[in-house]
Amino acid sequence: MLLQKAYFPMKVLNISQGYGNKADTHKKSYAIDFCGNDAGKDPVYAPFDCKVSKLYVKKGHTNTVWLTSLNKVLCANGYVGYMTMNIGHPEDIDKLKLGQVFKQGDLICHEGKTGYATGNHIHLELGKGTKAGWNLVKTGNLEEWVILNKVKAEDYLFLKEGTVIKNNIYRGIKYNFKYDSLEYETGTYKTLGIIKIRSGPGTNYEQKKVKDITEDGRKHVTSINLNAKASYKKGTIFDVLEIIYNNDSSIWGRGYSGYVCLRDKDGEVLSEIIKKE
């Protein structure tokens, strides 16, 4: 079965509060607040095929729904597993039922301001596994509910192509959500700069020596010294026989001479495809 990707659940990504700052309400969690278009109540969609695994609806409190994936999903950093997301503040989750099933992309609810909220938004947290729930974390007098097995949403959720990034910075920190448009294929690629040839698909693998690459490869490297480290020159055309998705979000191609980074962990394209296989 094809793995489903875990998606960011709104069409506009607009951060109104991040985490980790002493002055904010998200001190101990990795919660991020999103306010969509910042005009009204934007819809929130199912990030994956999921079921309602926990509901908290109480007058005067922050309404919250937990959505747990029905299957293992592929996350943006390469992690594969069951995931649980909670969404806080919506007004329209009182009609949801525990165990209710949604397909990826189905409408779940809308932004709201139940509980502690000054404007319409959602409070989003992501956790690994199927156990919906929270830990109560106290810092002095301040209490905060934190999802179990918390992880950083920006590392795990893909942005569907077409998602608008209105704001991804809060208090100088950038929350680097990455797009999903990464269907890399085997074929012929061209380097866009000088690129190291490595013995494996990651920057932790050592760079190969010129003597260890193919005869044809040696015509395209920056040094002819056989004991020098091998790097392709800018504009080198090479074949990619296999695509490897690294856990750090980088994408690698296996060629005849070794492994070459096609897209680095920050999303920069280092080699572009010029002909599909």
CB 17 to Zn ion: min, Å:
6
The Cβ-side half-sphere exposure at 81, using a 13 Å CA radius, reads: 15
98 close to 27: Cβ distance less than 8 angstroms: no
Give the nearest residue (CB) to Zn ion.
Answer: 123
Nearest CB to Zn ion, comparing residues 33 and 111: 33
Nearest CB to Zn ion, comparing residues 28 and 263: 28
Binding mask 84-123 for Zn ion (x = CB under 5 A): ---------------------------------------x
Q: Select from 28-36, 58-66, 92-100, 206-214 the region that touches Zn ion (CB under 5 A).
A: 28-36
Comparing C-alpha atoms, which of 199, 227, 213 is closest to residue 257? 213
Nearest CB to Zn ion, comparing residues 154 and 180: 154
Choice from 7, 10, 29, 33 touching Zn ion (CB under 5 A):
33
Structure tokens at 67: 């959505």
Nearest CB to Zn ion, comparing residues 32 and 159: 32
CB 248 to Zn ion: min, Å:
28
Nearest CB to Zn ion, comparing residues 93 and 210: 93
Amino acid type, 129: G
Structure tokens at 148: 């179990």
CB 54 to Zn ion: min, Å:
17
CB 116 to Zn ion: min, Å:
8
By CB under 5 A, the residues from 119 to 138 that bind Zn ion are: 123
For β-strands 73-74 and 4-5, DSSP reports them as parallel
CB 149 to Zn ion: min, Å:
18
Told to check if 220 binds Zn ion by CB under 5 A, we report no
The Cβ-side half-sphere exposure at 110, using a 13 Å CA radius, reads: 11
Told to check if 28 binds Zn ion by CB under 5 A, we report no
Structure tokens at 97: 């039922």
Contacts with Zn ion by CB under 5 A: the residue count is 2
Nearest CB to Zn ion, comparing residues 33 and 154: 33
CB 70 to Zn ion: min, Å:
26
By CB under 5 A, the residues from 197 to 216 that bind Zn ion are: none
Nearest CB to Zn ion, comparing residues 27 and 209: 27
| Interacting residue ranges for Zn ion, rule: CB under 5 A | 33, 123
